[in-house]
Amino acid sequence: MKNYNKKDTKNKTKEIFDKVIRNLQDIVSKGEYQEFLKFQNKFKKKYSFANLILIYSQCPNASNVAGAKTWERLGRKITDRSKKIFIAAPIPCSYEIKTRVIENGEEIEKTETIKYNRYRWVYVYDIENTDGEQIPMQSKYLNSESTEDLYEKLKAFSQVPVKEEEILTGAKGYYSKQRNMIAIKNSLSIDDKTAVLLHEITHSLYDDFDYKKDRDLSEVFVESVAFIVADHFGLDTSSCSFRYILGWANGETKTVLELGSKIQDSANDFIGKLEDFNVQEQELELAA
């Protein structure tokens, strides 16, 4: 069995982790967080949040990234002077330890397998640095040309009733868990209503933060997810305020990565469910 060097593994992991954090903080400090969210939406579940940070930091215009062998299998070759993009590849490892436990009143020896990942740097290449067979680039969007269609679909998709009403507090909308409803300010433009509804549905479906204690994290999470979903369906919600982002990025590094993965997973889930949702089928179910 290959020797397990715990110190070397920790050092390598920390090196990669620190690189990810530095790049994320650089993205935020440059005011590129919204652009990164758009970039992230191109890749769906293909790469981890940490590797998307690394890819964006090296090649923000990348659209389809893979290793040399993958491109070769797809009938494409890496061009001369192509740009290498390094990412962190996990290497699953394990080792065994013996422990003594009490079972049925007797002490016995058991073998426990400890699983962990080591990481190494590997290179990938964007499709722009390859030549060869055409690769189909499929992307599913709602079959509509207006945000009104998206707004109506979101209202039907919402798991809680959506009501338009006069809101005098200055808010554009809100989600009330106690009242089991979403309210949208009735005087808003249709584009604003759509953007606000995306935000509030994200609160209702994916936001599990304690809002009184973690309001900053909650709003960063929800605004980020809503932004990615809106961008996917062709709606520009750049007016979303990312007012908490800078402070969040300079906080606890573990929290940053955990929240980033949560944003990625929730946005992918929201997009997939909304793409598969059929308004007419829903209306038939309600009428039955």
Residues of the chain with pLDDT under 50: 1-4, 138-145, 244, 249, 283-288
103 beta partners: 106
Q: Scanning the structure block, which residue is given the tokens 């809680």?
A: 160
Residues 6+ apart with CB under 8 A from 204: 158, 159, 160, 175, 177, 182
Q: How far apart are CA 224 and CA 242, in angstroms?
A: 8
Phi, psi of 31 (to 5 degrees): 75, 30
Q: What does the pLDDT read at residue 159?
A: 94
Q: What is the pLDDT of residue 279?
A: 62
Residue 61 burial by Cβ neighbours in a 10 Å radius (0-12, 13-18, 19+): exposed
CA 142, CA 23: separation in Å to the nearest integer? 33
Answer for the pair 216, 244: CB distance below 8 angstroms, yes or no: yes
What is the predicted pLDDT for the residue at 41? 81
What is the structure's pLDDT at 81?
80
Structure token digits, residue 251: 């906080």
* CB-CB contact of 187 with 233 (8 Å): no
pLDDT of residue 174: 94
Instruction: Please give the pLDDT value at position 259.
Output: 79
User: Which tens digits make up the pLDDT trace of 47-82?
Assistant: 888 889 999 999 999 988 988 888 888 889 999 888
